[in-house]
A and B are shown apart, each in its own frame.
Chain A
Amino acid sequence: MKLCDFVVADAILPELAANAKESAIRSMVASLKDAGGIQAADEEGIVATILKREELGSTGIGNGVAVPHTKHASVTKLIATVALAGDGVDFASLDGEPVHILFLLVSPPDKPGDHLRALESISRHLRNQNFCKFLRQSKTKEAVLELLREADNNEI
């Protein structure tokens, strides 16, 4: 699965100003709504289920990365957005470090395979230190999108 298959381009947040987990998640879900990825009526419910998932254990998986996510019946295909937090977000990460790169996923409940494939795609690229470095240096939606395209084409 390619990153550009599920990342909603208009929802990318290259300069996330949030400094706490909840506000970061709220901003990202709002951005998905503004981009038309989810309906306004579902926004609060999606935020709530993502926060509930975080209570089971942080999705701040270390190396400055977090992957908050939920399943939600309102989406028919897996969608995601990317946010970059220059100042870092306290995500109660497993390694205790602030998070700078966030991928937020909303997936249909009946497609767990797609969720796994999206996680595989995200993690495969995030293991590439150049990808992480260039991502953190990206300052516009277009720059992030271009980088995702290059990653999809194995050009990094």
Chain B
Amino acid sequence: MSESQVYRRRVIVKAEQGLHIRPCTAVAQLAMKFQSRVRLSKDSLTPVDAKSILDLMTLAAGPNVELDLEVDGPDAAEAVEHLAALFESDFAPQASPAPVP
């Protein structure tokens, strides 16, 4: 049951310069530590793969833009918390989650 649950969270881009390459890299690197599928969307448009820096760059998300985070997979509950915390911290380095088994 828990494996099929999709976790959703509204996150806000706090970075003054928006979601430029460094925040995109931070998001992708964190997302890649999880097995779950991690996607982000802006303005209810087609979600992009949050494990791809190129995909994240296409969001062109400026400061204070709201994005919808959507995670599904075996470690989705943990992933959504870590990713939301990354946005909340304005992309400060995060405590590393447990490695993917």
Residue of B nearest to A105 (CB): B21
Question: Which residues of B lie under 8 Å from residue A41 when comparing CB positions?
Answer: none
Q: How far, in whole Å, are A117 and B59 apart by their CA atoms in the complex?
A: 9
In the bound complex, CA of A142 to CA of B75 (Å): 49
A35 within 8 A of B: no
Q: Is the CB of B18 within 8 A of A63?
A: no
Given contacts A112-B16, A127-B55, contact A119 B60 (CB under 8 A): yes
Contact A127/B17 with A57-B22, A94-B25, A94-B53 known, Cβ cut-off 8 Å: no
Alpha-carbon distance A56/B54, docked complex (angstroms): 19
A116 contacts B25, C-beta separation under 8 Å: no
- Band of interface residues on B: 20 to 34
**Chain A CB within 8 A of B83 CB:** no
What's the dominant secondary structure at chain B's contact region? loop
Kindly name the residue among B20, B28, B53, B55 whose own CB sees the greatest number of chain A CB atoms within 10 A.
Answer: B53
Residue contact B54 to A61, C-beta cutoff 8 Å: yes
Considering the complex, give the chain B residue whose CB is closest to the CB of A71.
Answer: B17
Contacting residues, chain B, for A94 (C-beta < 8 A): 25, 28-29, 53
**A119 adjacent to B20 (CB under 8 Å):** yes
Contact of B58 among A63, A65, A123 (CB under 8 A): A123
**Assuming the A-B contacts A61-B53, A63-B54, are A115 and B25 also in contact, with contact meaning beta carbons closer than 8 angstroms in the complex?**
no
Give the 4 A-B residue pairs with the shortest CB-CB distance, closest first.
A123-B57, A120-B60, A61-B53, A112-B17
B residues sitting closer than 8 Å to A (CB atoms) are 16-22, 24-25, 28-29, 52-55, 57-63
Hey, which bits of chain A sit against chain B, CB under 8 A?
56-57, 59, 61-63, 65, 67, 69, 94, 112-113, 115-117, 119-120, 122-124, 126-127
20 pairs, CB–CB < 8 Å, chain A vs chain B: A57-B25, A61-B21, A61-B24, A61-B53, A62-B52, A65-B54, A67-B21, A94-B25, A94-B53, A112-B16, A112-B18, A112-B20, A116-B17, A116-B18, A116-B19, A117-B60, A119-B60, A120-B57, A124-B58, A127-B54
Contacts beyond the supplied A62-B53, A113-B18, A123-B57: 4 A-B pairs with Cβ under 8 Å: A62-B54, A94-B28, A123-B55, A123-B58
